[in-house]
Amino acid sequence: MKTMTVGEFKTHFSDVIEQVKAGEKIAVTYGKKKEIIGYFSPDTPQKPKRKLGILEGKVEVIFKPDFEMTTEEFLGL
């Protein structure tokens, strides 16, 4: 992770944006103690959507005619 002061951040803002887009995480510091006041990091990619019906045509489910289930049982309440 790269660190830079607020002044450096303001001066090189477009470069910082490019670095973040490239995957770099940057901490911004402030004051004489150079305390970290914030982080700039790339947006985390969202998990891909689950594919439904992955077992379609491969599995068969058969319920007996006397099968009964309450809504509470179905929902696990």
Q: How many CB atoms lie within 10 A of CB 9?
A: 19
On whether the pTM is more than 0.85, the answer is no
The neighbouring-strand residues paired with 2 are 26
- How does pLDDT run across 36-65, given as a tens digit for each residue? 999 999 887 777 777 778 888 888 888 899
The beta-strand segments (E) located in the chain are 2-5, 26-30, 35-40
Q: Are strands 35-40 and 26-30 parallel, antiparallel or unpaired?
A: antiparallel
Task: Copy the structure tokens of residue 77.
Answer: 């309440």
